Structure 1
Amino acid sequence: MDVLQKIQTLRDELNLHNYNYYVLDTPTISDYEFDIKLKELQELEAKHPEFFDENSPTLRVGGSITKNFETVQHEYRMYSLDNSYSKEDLLDWEARAQKILGNVPLEYTCELKYDGASISILYENGRLKRAVTRGDGFQGDDVTNNVKTIKAVPVKLKGDFPEKFEIRGEIILPFAGFEKMNQELIEIGETPYSNPRNTASGSLKLQDSAEVAKRPLDCLLYSLIGNNLPIQSQFEGLEKARNWGFKVPTQSKLAKNIDEVFEFINYWDKHRHELPYETDGVVVKINNIHQQEELGYTAKSPRWAMAYKFKAEQVSTQLNSISYQVGRTGSITPVANLEPVQLAGTIVKRASLHNADQIEKLDIRIGDEVFVEKGGEIIPKIIAVDLSKRPENSQKTIYITHCPECATELERKEGEANHYCPNFYGCPPQIIGRIQHYITRKAMDIEGLGGETVALLYTNKLVTSYADLYELKKDQVVVLERMADKSADNLISGIQKSKEISFDRVLYALGIRYVGETVAKKLAKHYKSIDALANASLEELVTVDEIGIKIAQSVLEFFENQENRSNIERLKAHGVQMELLQIDATLVSSILEGKTIVVSGVFEKFSRDELKKAIEDNGGKVGSSISAKTSFVIAGDNMGPAKLEKANQLKIPIISETDFEEMINNNK
């Protein structure tokens, strides 16, 4: 046997033993025998570097150093799931799906909802190519080197896998490994980690992959993503992935109807604590892939999936004090400072009190014994007071009347739950908060500048608005605390690079109240420049798709303020993008401008995503459901019966993919 053949044989053997041990939990050799084979391979690879393989099992121990994690655009967006907290919610969800699909019988795949760090892993020709964190759903961090150290993640697949696809799942830290890590920290006098989920997520961002390799991370996978995959259903996808070598939990179940879904939920609500890792609910997915495509997505979530969250844990503890936080919009949030208590795997010291009405409703007082819950929200909340333990001398809570930061008298607009500090341009947390919002990844994405540094710049009187950022000099920032020479260079460079950010993201970055990412994109596409938007009337604004009176009034108020207009002129002068460079960088034609088109069915020439992109590239809008506003439907095989019936009722034209192709090509 020649050297290359020997090396390849050892690699295949070791990959198989890793699979048996970490995925199947059925090792076939001892740890000692495994180590001997691994050492033999290491020696051969060291002598013959010409046979290097980035996916060799010898590299599972890590060792590569990543200073900066590259930001990678997801080819397929990573959506979040809608949550439900009752079986009535699930029945409502089913009814909505059947209304779109036409009351056809539905099957469901039930999976446990794992509490870990979401990951998307790309495979090409059966080999692990790249692993990317969820990030904001549109882009995430490339953590490939760290994920390769997780033994449950195959670096080489087996069987009839597709040429290219992504698989998604959760990086988790099982209880046993988490407890062992914490015990080791306690023994050397260090602070233990707070919970498995955060520790797993933090592990992915360690710069030294050798340190990641020491952590007992696991990876549970549950979703195949790609074009023309060889699956017809979600459950079939799980079985295929398992056969290709992935660790796919066996607890998943195919449910023939919603009653079987409830049986699955009831069982795991009682037995979840027997699992070796954290789970906080059940994910219910419509099983049929074609039906999933028909249902599509909302702006944030798939319509074909729903997370059922198990009832939240509750604990009681003492309320020591109430503090008040000021947000970037001036909104005041009361926060309960609690006697530290363990809840759902974390130490809880603070809880949201939401607003004055909530404090009044629960009659919450300092010194009370309160019940705290951590449900669907990240921040725990107080749900009740134990009146039997209330101190005799307790005093009713009087909500503050003046801003805790700048002492300005608070306002509360009619119909709004929150109090606001109106000192928009003089209240420090509002100023800092606006600049912090401006630099975020979804906005200007200024590398080298974080929230703490913004606060430091403000405290040192170097910035009082986001326009001031573009006038900073290196010699001003290099003297700041924790700011080294290289850090100062990165900060100034990151600020200059932000001038390349597109107008829609700049508009979002400006921090106009109620103007989120989606609204900013719609306004940018409609008005095409900041000047056109600034001069729009209320009547004109409300005619823009999805812009209501509340958003329109907020936009008007923003541009009526002289300081905002001054900042915008300064940003313009510094070269920040205040208009679309083109009507649309990807626009092929405007033939479909003003038209709303629905895509339904299975197609031969194009994928649904390709059709949707072609619609948008030619100026049209993709509709999710058929209504009187629908211009026409592009229909493939097995068009949803409900959509077909609705289109016929409304006399909406139905065309084929060939008709659509000719329409586009004839007008280029």
Structure 2
Amino acid sequence: MAQTNPNASFPVDDLTEDQAAAELARLAVTMARADFLYNEANPELTDAEYDDLKARNLAIETRFPALIRADSPSRKVGSPASSQFSEVRHGVPMLSLDNAFDEGDVVDFVARIQRFLKLPHADPVAFVAEPKIDGLSANIRYEKGVLVQGATRGDGRTGEDITANLKTISDIPVKLAGSGWPDLIEVRGEVYAPNEGFTAFNTAAEAEGRRTYANPRNFAAGSLRQIDPKVTAARPLAFFAYAWGETSAPFAETQDEALAALKSWGFKVNPRSVRIEGVDGLMEVYRGLETDRAGLGYDIDGVVYKVDRLDWQERLGFVSRSPRWAIAHKFPAQQATTVLRGIDIQVGRTGSLTPVARLEPVTVGGVVVSNATLHNEDEIARKDVRIGDTVVLQRAGDVIPQIVEVVLDRRPADAEAYVFPTHCPVCGSEAVRPEGEVRRRCTGGLVCNAQLVERLKHFVSRRAFDIEGLGEKQLIAFHERGWIHEPADIFRLARDKEKLDLLRAEDGYGDTSVKNLVAGIDARRVIALERLIFGLGIRDIGDQTSLLLARHFGSWDAFYAAGLEAAAGIPSPDWTRLAEGHGVSQRTLSVMAAAELSPADPWPEAPVDQKLALAFPGVATPARRALAELAPDWSAVLELARIAREDGPSETLGQIAGIAGVGPVAARAVAEFFHEAHNRTVVDALINELTGVVDAEKPKTDSPVAGKTVVFTGSLEKFTRDEAKARAESLGAKVSGSVSKKTDYVVAGPGAGSKLKDAEKHGVSVLSEDDWLALIG
């Protein structure tokens, strides 16, 4: 029988740390036994019972990450590369797609493509629309037409080697048919379980007393991860090919032609894939598949749209982790109703107070949900969510579950409106809501244990410093003993013999445990630049933005210097209000800053609007109207000019904001971080403890513009601004939004204005679009 434990009936939120450790031990033993018996065709748990254990294990590990066991069930399935399969590095990353959830998102998607490619609005863009199969992605590598390796998607860059299992699927040719295939090609597609075969398997399994599966997707995933390929071969699995990764040579000019080529080589291509033009065509395909969804014979959760022309796909490129040229239009999310039992307030590492709904557990989309986000206090008030309410819960794909609405006719008579706390539930400090923000934030800073420990947890997390053996449990213990107050203390601890001896004497650490802890810390004394930036926990700077900053600046010294320079040029609140005025563009601010005005009003009888037109020639009417509201008289006009001239962001701050994918919000976050003296002190102490910071991957150095700083201005005719910027950066150039003496080239199209004058002022080379194209080849 499975091991019992009195903690098994306790709600996860009520478990103490010791109870949680005991419960995780029970779950590991119980699920290991269930896995063994399942593989022996003698299961003792139903799929529902097994899934409940799995969900409980995950919930406990989420709450107590430091307690995750080496034999945890969560480490056996679904990891980027499990212990039973070797790792495979994809030749080209398998990136995820952005999602569209309604027609408006699709309209925006098509419009963005037309703008990027600079296409007339009336010219329709051709796409290939195909069903989004709800299965498991696979990457299959062929060399000289022979299947040599197959892998799961994994984390997008590294997957699991499941070659032997994929070879058992009849839809996947072991040797390519026809001709015209490249010597090397990675063919990509989706492994899925047809509904009829899945139902037949479950029926037979149930009749034989074996474990059944909850849905076709889980069945397909479990079947592909069987140790014995014979087990996989006995499962009803199929495969649709829809894409490719690394290739030694091009083989098509359009997506549609590529699918035809894959079909001619022996792959099964979805028959509902179709070439279509424009938004109306895409929506027609979407509605048709939504109507026919139940009769397709396999599960789909939406439609994927891809730009048909491959040369356009190449021009559009990628943003962050997804392509600009494709999007997944998801079907409406699955919903369920449940009861709201309470509202908890979580304090984040930056002090933000986030309300979380504590729910009666309910299954939504195949996942047991017991918590959901309530976003912020405005959202609670808008939806009038009250404790005890019956609520409609929605979950779409990997999106965090959220409450859609309250079922008012089932509201308890004594339900009261929720009052959002005005003080931090952790430290009792005042929780304030800055103007223009939707979240309240604790003002406790480093006196708030929630923030301090959260900041340290973030610092040692997987995408930051990833310090082995130093989890939440250890951080809390060391912090409570007064050993760790900032990141540098972690590295000091590894060299503090007195404290390490106390760990052995008082905390029960063995010599091996202490050595492993020290080794885990010392291993991170040399750290990659992007990990260091992310580990600092700067607000609005995620791992992708950290990578962009690292690649742009290259080294820690360059990034630190830029942070200090940006901190010295944070725009004043008056400048920010001025810049946010309706119609007030960067050009307007430049005109105002350059204006030479007399202290005496030269037009005393003129109305304000006319004075503004004379003082700032060329400023558009909407901007003048916005300025008129701020400047009722001449002295106010003079003050606006001074603000525009003296209170704006520094050049460095503007350059950071101009980095592709960073933007002004993240740039200001960097500036504000370095503006605080205590942050600089913490950072300096950390750097002193490190042995070195590894520079970011160097940009291309073999192009004519590698290392050069380029500014694009005017109305470009040969390419769009985004396209020009992406191309320049791919060649190793730095693209800036402003001209300085450090600028190497200004590429000017028709209508170039102030930037062209700045180039002449600083003696910067000015190129036409043709000159630029000739330069970069």
- When the two structures are superposed, what TM-score results if normalisation uses the length of structure 1? 0.70
Give the alignment partner of residue 159 of structure 2, picking from 111, 125, 141. 141
Note if 1:162 corresponds to 2:182: yes
Give the alignment partner of residue 402 of structure 1, picking from 423, 428, 437. 423
Cα distance change, pair 499–398 in 1 and its aligned pair in 2 (3 A): same
Native 8 Å contact 2:82 2:160 kept in 1: no
Report the residue type matching 2:533 in the other structure: L
Cα distance change, pair 204–469 in 1 and its aligned pair in 2 (3 A): farther
1:513 Cα deviation from its structure 2 partner: 0.8
1:70 Cα deviation from its structure 2 partner: 6.7
Give the alignment partner of residue 330 of structure 2, picking from 302, 309, 313. 309
Which residue of structure 2 aligns with residue 383 of structure 1?
Answer: 404
Matches within 5 A, 1:458-473: 458-461=475-478, 464-470=485-491, 471-472=493-494
Note if 1:515 corresponds to 2:544: no
Report the residue type matching 1:223 in the other structure: A
Matches within 5 A, 1:349-428: 349-375=370-396, 378-428=399-449
1:358 Cα deviation from its structure 2 partner: 0.8
Native 8 Å contact 2:335 2:393 kept in 1: yes
SS of residue paired to 1:513: coil
SS of residue paired to 2:346: strand
Note if 1:335 corresponds to 2:451: no
Matches within 5 A, 1:209-608: 219-227=239-247, 228-375=249-396, 378-446=399-467, 448=468, 454-461=471-478, 464-470=485-491, 471-472=493-494, 493=519, 495-524=521-550, 525-526=552-553, 528=555, 529=557, 531-536=560-565, 537-538=568-569, 539=650, 540-544=652-656, 545-546=658-659, 550-561=665-676, 564-575=679-690, 577-578=692-693, 580=695, 584=698, 587-588=701-702, 591-592=705-706, 593-595=708-710
Work out the CA distance in 2 between the residues paired with 1:106 and 1:483.
65
Native 8 Å contact 1:363 1:396 kept in 2: yes
Work out the CA distance in 2 between the residues paired with 1:106 and 1:343.
37
Work out the CA distance in 2 between the residues paired with 1:260 and 1:617.
37
Which residue of structure 1 aligns with residue 642 of structure 2?
Answer: none
Work out the CA distance in 2 between the residues paired with 1:504 and 1:599.
36
Note if 1:654 corresponds to 2:770: yes
Work out the CA distance in 2 between the residues paired with 1:499 and 1:599.
50
SS of residue paired to 2:349: coil
1:261-293 CA-partner distances (Å, limit 9, x unpaired) = 323211211221334443211111122222322
Give the alignment partner of residue 747 of structure 2, picking from 619, 623, 631. 631
Native 8 Å contact 1:344 1:374 kept in 2: yes
1:319 Cα deviation from its structure 2 partner: 1.5
Native 8 Å contact 1:149 1:212 kept in 2: no
Note if 1:107 corresponds to 2:126: yes
1:200 Cα deviation from its structure 2 partner: 5.6
Report the residue type matching 2:331 in the other structure: F
SS of residue paired to 1:543: helix
Report the residue type matching 2:477 in the other structure: N
Native 8 Å contact 2:457 2:475 kept in 1: no
Cα distance change, pair 617–232 in 1 and its aligned pair in 2 (3 A): closer
SS of residue paired to 1:460: helix
Native 8 Å contact 2:526 2:693 kept in 1: no
SS of residue paired to 1:425: helix
Native 8 Å contact 2:494 2:522 kept in 1: no
1:356 Cα deviation from its structure 2 partner: 0.6
Cα distance change, pair 548–282 in 1 and its aligned pair in 2 (3 A): closer
What count of residue pairs does the alignment treat as equivalent? 562
Work out the CA distance in 1 between the residues paired with 2:513 and 2:222.
22
Cα distance change, pair 261–331 in 1 and its aligned pair in 2 (3 A): same
Work out the CA distance in 2 between the residues paired with 1:241 and 1:507.
43
1:542 Cα deviation from its structure 2 partner: 2.8
Cα distance change, pair 465–276 in 1 and its aligned pair in 2 (3 A): farther
Native 8 Å contact 2:554 2:695 kept in 1: no
Work out the CA distance in 2 between the residues paired with 1:454 and 1:208.
36
Work out the CA distance in 1 between the residues paired with 2:203 and 2:414.
42
Matches within 5 A, 1:50-199: 67=83, 74-99=90-115, 100-103=117-120, 104-131=123-150, 133-134=152-153, 137=156, 139-144=157-162, 148=166, 151=169, 152-160=171-179, 161-172=181-192, 177=198, 197=217
Work out the CA distance in 1 between the residues paired with 2:432 and 2:274.
53
Work out the CA distance in 1 between the residues paired with 2:310 and 2:261.
14
SS of residue paired to 2:666: helix
SS of residue paired to 2:400: coil
Cα distance change, pair 502–369 in 1 and its aligned pair in 2 (3 A): same
Work out the CA distance in 2 between the residues paired with 1:110 and 1:553.
40
Structure 2 unaligned segments of length 5 or more: list them: 1-80, 570-649, 738-744, 750-765
Work out the CA distance in 2 between the residues paired with 1:272 and 1:405.
49
Cα distance change, pair 209–490 in 1 and its aligned pair in 2 (3 A): farther
Native 8 Å contact 1:69 1:141 kept in 2: no
SS of residue paired to 1:81: coil
SS of residue paired to 1:357: helix
1:616-657 CA-partner distances (Å, limit 9, x unpaired) = 45535599xxxxx97389xxxxxxxxxxxxxxxx99422698
Native 8 Å contact 2:422 2:430 kept in 1: yes
Work out the CA distance in 1 between the residues paired with 2:428 and 2:300.
45
Native 8 Å contact 1:150 1:213 kept in 2: yes
1:361 Cα deviation from its structure 2 partner: 0.8
Report the residue type matching 2:159 in the other structure: D
Work out the CA distance in 1 between the residues paired with 2:186 and 2:508.
40
Work out the CA distance in 2 between the residues paired with 1:480 and 1:141.
43
Work out the CA distance in 1 between the residues paired with 2:717 and 2:183.
27
Report the residue type matching 2:129 in the other structure: C
Cα distance change, pair 568–587 in 1 and its aligned pair in 2 (3 A): farther
Native 8 Å contact 2:655 2:736 kept in 1: no
1:351 Cα deviation from its structure 2 partner: 1.8
Work out the CA distance in 1 between the residues paired with 2:506 and 2:190.
39
Native 8 Å contact 1:616 1:622 kept in 2: no
1:4-58 CA-partner distances (Å, limit 9, x unpaired) = xxxxxxxxxxxxxxxxxxxxxxxxxxxxxxxxxxxxxxxxxxxxxxxxxxxxxxx
1:364 Cα deviation from its structure 2 partner: 0.8
Report the residue type matching 1:619 in the other structure: A
SS of residue paired to 1:595: strand
Report the residue type matching 2:561 in the other structure: A
Native 8 Å contact 1:169 1:223 kept in 2: yes
Report the residue type matching 1:306 in the other structure: I
Report the residue type matching 2:182 in the other structure: P
SS of residue paired to 1:328: coil
1:147 Cα deviation from its structure 2 partner: 5.6
1:460 Cα deviation from its structure 2 partner: 2.7
Report the residue type matching 2:687 in the other structure: K
Work out the CA distance in 1 between the residues paired with 2:381 and 2:138.
42
- When the two structures are superposed, what TM-score results if normalisation uses the length of structure 2? 0.62
Which residue of structure 1 aligns with residue 627 of structure 2?
Answer: none
Report the residue type matching 2:102 in the other structure: S
